[in-house]
Amino acid sequence: MTANQDHKENTRQTENLLADAAFLEDIRRQMIKFATLQLGDGHLAEDAVQEALIGALKNASSFGGRAALKTWIFAILKNKIADTLRHKQRVVNASSLLREEDEDEELSELFDRKGFWQQDERPVAWGNPEAFLRETHFWRVFEACLERLPPKQARVFMMREFIELDADEICVAVDLTTSNLHVLLHRSRLRLRECIENNWYLQGERNDELP
């Protein structure tokens, strides 16, 4: 089979999958959940997801098959969300943000007075990152850990690490000062580290307690 034939076959398979009702229902549910977290508005999330799915269908021929189809579609959604956030001075105002309890937890207990890890709190070795990226179970654990974060922490973490917005853009979108943003990012990374270590890496064993 020639390269051109491979490309046509890949496009045909992509279009068939995008036309599959069960596949669309499953991925759309995941997309809505993610977009709503980032945009804080159900209608804006619906619009972004709809545009992303339409874009994926229209550009099925450009999907080279080098990544998973779901990854490719979420990359399109990520760009739609970034565009929405950048073109709206504020997608939501501070009063409509998801309410959350003030963070009182003593995360400082993880460090000594000089700012170094406490002996028992040092991160454990995480092995080969590339190998873990291919692990379906790892991403199930990661998603569960992300959902356990306070809503604002989860939102700014994904804005920074997944959507790759600049700090200034995030501050405008969620009405934060730069210092407050850094605090939220720091706390979210620590919480995720603890959760993932406890449920994935600790002692090199998997923990199936998470849903």
pLDDT of residue 196: 80
- Name the token pair of 81: 């969300």
- Which residue intervals of the chain bear CATH 1.10.1740.10? 1-91
pTM above 0.85, yes or no: no
CATH of 1-91, one of 2.40.10.120, 1.10.940.10, 3.30.1600.10, 1.10.1740.10: 1.10.1740.10
pLDDT digits (tens, 9 = 90+) for 15-65: 777 778 888 888 898 899 888 888 878 899 999 999 999 998 888 877 766
Collapsed DSSP state (helix, strand, coil) of residue 111: strand
CA 26 → CA 21, 69, 141, distances in Å? 9, 13, 18
pLDDT of residue 47: 94
Helices and strands per DSSP (H, E), number in the chain: 9, 0
pLDDT of residue 184: 93
Strand partners of residue 111? 117
Q: What is the CATH number of domain 106-211?
A: 1.10.10.10
Residue 104 has pLDDT above 60, yes or no: no
CA 201 to chain centre: 20
Which of 60-64, 116-120, 176-180 comes out lowest in average pLDDT? 116-120
CA 36 to chain centre: 12
Picking from 186, 163, 24, the residue whose alpha carbon sits closest to that of residue 111 is: 186
Residue 156, number of CB atoms within 10 A of its CB: 27
Dist CA 82 CA 102 (whole Å): 27
Please give the DSSP secondary-structure letter assigned to residue 97: S
